[in-house]
């Protein structure tokens, strides 16, 4: 964790961001549940402004194995990247879950790339669209791209936006029991986007909490 980035968002703004992610991922999980016909269990999201290397280390600690991710960039008032990450060994099981358990392995392997992109598109778009709608903003979301590698490959991409070595790391774990499917959703934003996000979150807090006094009271109580 770093000092100055924390000052960028106060406690209530971080709370608001966590709640936005909660809403976005809740909707996305419901979409995934409809695709696979089984309940998707979600962890409580964690949101942190941390150094990029710290994000890599956190993911590496949880998942030292080779990973596969669906990656989408978003642009608008805020710019960043969304990743749906799985251990590579679990990705075929996820594809099997959304297609048909009867398909032979060679068909599953052939479908993997396309199916992962579609799953990622539905989950990440669902999540990002919910957040954008609640912030009353439009985000342009790129087509999904599949990335394979280890944790440093997930967060050290060559594509823009890059803007400093600090990222807003939003992390949530999801599990489909009985299917051996488990994965993570991560949103990465650089510092300029965090500054823009701060204003959007303040507007969201005012709309959601009602009057400014209520929000200010909450800020005073949380210090």
Partner 1 sequence: MNVLVVDDSKLARMAVIKLFRALHPDWSHVQAANGDEAIAALNEKKVDLVVLDFNMPGRDGLDLAAEFRKIRPTMPIAVISANYQREVVDRARVVGATFLPKPVTEQALKEFLATAVQRRQDFDP
Positions in the binding site for partner 1 (CB under 8 A):
12, 15-16, 18-19, 22-27, 29-30, 33, 39-40, 42, 44, 130, 134, 205, 208-210, 214-215, 218, 222
Closer by beta carbon to partner 1, 30 or else 89: 30
Closer by beta carbon to partner 1, 25 or else 154: 25
Closer by beta carbon to partner 1, 111 or else 215: 215
Is the Cβ–Cβ distance between 169 and 50 less than 8 Å?
Answer: yes
Closer by beta carbon to partner 1, 42 or else 147: 42
Closer by beta carbon to partner 1, 23 or else 117: 23
Rounded-to-integer distance, Cα 34 and Cα 164, Å? 39
Is the Cβ–Cβ distance between 95 and 118 less than 8 Å?
Answer: no
Is the Cβ–Cβ distance between 13 and 202 less than 8 Å?
Answer: yes
Instruction: Report how far apart the first and last C-alpha atoms of the chain are (Å, whole number).
Output: 19
Rounded-to-integer distance, Cα 152 and Cα 138, Å? 30
Is the Cβ–Cβ distance between 97 and 194 less than 8 Å?
Answer: no
Closer by beta carbon to partner 1, 25 or else 122: 25
Shortest separation between residue 200's beta carbon and partner 1, angstroms: 14
Q: Which of 84, 47, 87, 49 is nearest to 67 (CA)?
A: 87
Phi, psi of 94 (to 5 degrees): -65, -45
Shortest separation between residue 15's beta carbon and partner 1, angstroms: 5
> Residue 44: CA atoms inside 13 Å, Cβ hemisphere, count?
2
Shortest separation between residue 124's beta carbon and partner 1, angstroms: 16
> Tokens for 17?
């961001």
What size, in residues, is the chain?
A: 223
């Amino acid at each position: 964790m770093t000092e100055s980035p924390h000052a960028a968002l106060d406690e209530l703004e971080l709370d608001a961001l966590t709640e936005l992610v909660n809403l976005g991922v809740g909707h996305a999980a419901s979409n995934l549940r409809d695709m696979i016909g089984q309940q998707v269990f979600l962890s409580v999201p964690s949101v942190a402004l941390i150094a990029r290397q710290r994000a890599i280390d956190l993911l590496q600690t949880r998942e030292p194995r080779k990973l596969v991710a669906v990656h989408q960039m978003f642009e608008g008032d805020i710019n960043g990247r969304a990743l749906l990450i799985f251990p590579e060994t679990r990705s075929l099981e996820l594809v099997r879950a959304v297609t048909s358990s009867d398909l032979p392995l060679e068909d599953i392997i052939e479908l993997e790339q396309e199916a992962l992109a579609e799953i990622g598109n539905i989950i990440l778009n669902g999540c990002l669209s919910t957040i954008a709608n609640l912030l009353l903003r439009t985000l342009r979301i790129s087509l999904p791209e599949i990335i394979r590698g280890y944790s440093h490959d997930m967060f050290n991409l060559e594509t823009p936006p890059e803007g400093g070595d600090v990222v807003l790391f939003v992390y949530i774990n999801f599990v489909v029991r009985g299917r051996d499917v488990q994965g993570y959703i991560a949103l990465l934003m650089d510092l300029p986007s965090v500054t823009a996000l701060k204003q959007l979150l303040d507007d969201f807090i005012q709309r959601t909490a009602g009057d400014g006094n209520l929000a200010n009271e909450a800020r005073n109580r949380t210090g």
